[in-house]
Amino acid sequence: MQQSSSPLIVVILIGALVAISILVRRGRLQSRNSNLAARERIRPLAITLLDPVVSVIIIGPFVWHFISHSTTHLFAAIVGGAIGIAVGYARARVMFVRAIKETKSIVLRRSGLEYGLVLILVILRSAQSSVERSSSATAQSLVTGLAGLALIEAVARSGFIVKRYLDSPATSAAVTVETDPPSSSLENPQ
């Protein structure tokens, strides 16, 4: 497959990555000012919406190349995508803690699974050219299935997190497990 990305796609990808880095910084500042449990972080909801865009731009052409050449690869991508939906649902349930609707943010819990999936994405992208040259249909189908899983997982996870955000009651960033009860009006009678 020839790697000819259109300039518009490159601009969209760079724009999404810049937006994500700005939003990550905003989330870190918000997290510093909040009392969060261990392994929790605040992230603007927009990051969750941009994540699948980046995945589609990076992984999409790889999957498209393989599924357009073989029905076996199409089947592998569909199976991988079905597994990706299940993994995305599971990750969304594990990661999502609560919504902070006043800042359009969410509290997420870190997990080892997210780092593992990022590693898989890097490996898949790195192995793309060698898999393309491989004559093993089994290896190509396996990689296509894994790429389909990674692509659909990102889209599904984003969708499930957004749904949970929309279904959640509004809470503030300060709502966490507190060890001391908040001060009451009995201390300062007026």
What does the DSSP 8-state code read for residue 43?
A: E
Distance CA 139, CA 128 (A): 11
**Token reading at 108:** 């997420």
pTM exceeds cut of 0.75: no
pLDDT (tens digit, 0 to 9) for every residue of the chain, 190 residues total? Answer: 444 568 888 888 888 889 888 888 888 877 777 778 788 888 889 989 988 998 898 888 888 988 988 899 999 999 999 999 998 898 888 888 888 888 888 888 887 776 776 676 667 667 666 766 666 778 788 888 888 988 999 999 999 999 999 998 866 555 444 333 344 444 444 4
Residue type at 143? V
